[in-house]
Amino acid sequence: MKNFLFELREGLLIAFRAIRANKVRSILTTLGIVIGVTSVVLMSTAIKGIDNAFQTGVSSLGSDNLYIDKWQWFNNDIPWWELRNRKNLTLEDYKKYKELAKLPLAVAPTVWNFNTVKFKDRVVEGLIIQGTTSDYIQTTNLSFSEGRFFNELESNGGRNVIVLGSEVAKKLFPIGYAVGQEVKIKGHKFRVVGVLAEQGSWVMGNFNPDKQVFLPIQNIFKYLQNENLRSITINVRAKNSQMVEATKEEAVGIMRRIRGLAYNQENDFSINQQEGLLNTINQTVGVIQIAGLFITGLSLFVGAIGIMNIMFVSVKERTKEIGIRKAIGAKRRAILGQFITESAVICLIGGLIGLVFAVILSLIINQFLPTSVQVDALILAIVISIATGVISGFAPAYTAAKLDPVEALRYE
């Protein structure tokens, strides 16, 4: 053990001396590792950023939420046509469920429609118009920058009121003061009662509440859509995360009763959860990760081959030195350790330089994908560069270690 430490120190000393003696060569060799480590760190940082964005996007759905729907959102087992043939979920179903369900914190129906909203000469096209009830707000974590959600009276009465997502409001009312104004959808006037605070979960695309507007649900059917052609979604929020399963079981029982299913009939509805979405996202992120790993792995591999090559050259050049060391009593292990140490040091230096590059570049990435280099990425980079050095240095070091001392000494 003591020997090992002395030899390691000697190995480090030799390594630094050898690197100093061949500056240009060392720099060029290290470049491969610098690029490899930079790409590994950047890739892992970018993937983490993507993952974070997805996760925050999903969690804006609320982890305690259930969505009773005709459609199964993340479906791999039920044939599509079977889902299509299911009976639509209606407002009647919703009302019955709300009456019977004891466990939920809040229940609200939703139905959506693509449409255009205008204010004077300003137009926002193709946004999602959600129809719902005043209870909807309790099934979400939304907050307001202006005004409020429509109340029970407005909801039940099907008043022409509207709540705007932050981005929609910004487009229609660039200087604010949306509340009290009247916007138009298909020529019908709606009075703005509230504007949502910005949610900023960009991954959800059009389903981002920032890009939506909300009406009492009756208005959707009255002005925009035939009620009989549309299936609604029942949004259910459990009291807390422990209650999600119980609430779900209760919902299955109640829905089966409402839908009049016999004991031997399959459910003709699905209870969706963000978990399903999470699974899909995790799969996607997994694919990105594998692709990223493969690409970065490739660049590291190229770097490692460079190191191996230069270490073989180094061993060849220093055959005489190896002979001297062996002649005065260096064991195979010491020579092996010396060259592996040298290779690891070169790679570690490359890795540290790569890390600096990665941190700088990640600041640029951060401009469009919120992320930062994490401690585990730093550790990963250091571990990877040392490991690369050890692995690519092994074969050259081994040839050095088993050199015959007499022949090595004779080498000029």
Partner 1 sequence: MNIITIEHIAKIYQVGSEEVHALADVSLKIDKGEYVAIMGPSGSGKSTLMNILGCLDTPTKGIYNFNGVNVSEMNDNELAKIRNKEIGFVFQTFNLLPRSDALHNVELPLIYAGVSSAERKERAKEALAHVGLADRMHHKPNELSGGQRQRVAIARALVTRPSIILADEPTGNLDTKTGEDIMALFNEIYEQGNTIILVTHEEYIAEHAERILRIRDGLIEKDEIVKERFIPKKNGASKI
| Six token digits for residue 117 | 């909203």
Q: How far is CA 14 from CA 10, 343, 345, 348, in A?
A: 6, 11, 10, 15
DSSP, residue by residue, 314-356: HHHHTHHHHHHHHHTT--HHHHHHHHHHHHHHHHHHHHHHHHH
Q: Are 372 and 45 in contact (CB under 8 A)?
A: yes
What number of residues does the chain have? 412
Q: Which of 153, 328, 364, 375 binds partner 1 (CB under 8 A)?
A: 328
Mark the segment that binds partner 1 (CB under 8 A) among 14-22, 71-79, 154-162, 242-250. 14-22
236 binds partner 1 (CB under 8 A): no
Helix (H) or strand (E) holding 242: none
330 lies in the site for partner 1, by CB under 8 A: yes
End-to-end CA distance of the chain: 34
Cβ distance to partner 1 smaller for residue 202 or 398: 398
> Rounded CA gap, 136 and 152, in Å?
10
**Which of 238/336 has CB closer to partner 1?**
336
> Which of residues 28, 327, 360, 379 is near partner 1 by CB under 8 A?
327
Q: Is 356 in the site for partner 1 (CB under 8 A)?
A: no
Which listed residue (211, 326, 341, 381) binds partner 1 by CB under 8 A?
Answer: 326
CB atoms within 10 A of CB 385: 32
**Which among 58-66, 229-237, 318-326, 391-399 is the span making contact with partner 1, rule CB under 8 A?**
318-326
Q: With binding defined as CB under 8 A, does residue 24 bind partner 1?
A: no
- The minimum distance between CB 21 and partner 1, in angstroms, equals 6
Region near partner 1 per CB under 8 A, out of 37-45, 63-71, 154-162, 315-323? 315-323
Is residue 334 within the footprint of partner 1 (CB under 8 A)?
yes
Q: How far is CA 355 from the centre of its chain?
A: 22
CB of 397 to partner 1, least distance (A): 15
The amino acid at residue 53 is A
Q: Which of residues 116-145 bind partner 1 (CB under 8 A)?
A: none
Residues facing 66 on adjacent strands: 236, 273
Which residue ranges make up the site for partner 1 (CB under 8 A)? 2-3, 6-7, 10, 17-18, 21, 320-321, 323-334, 402, 404-406, 409
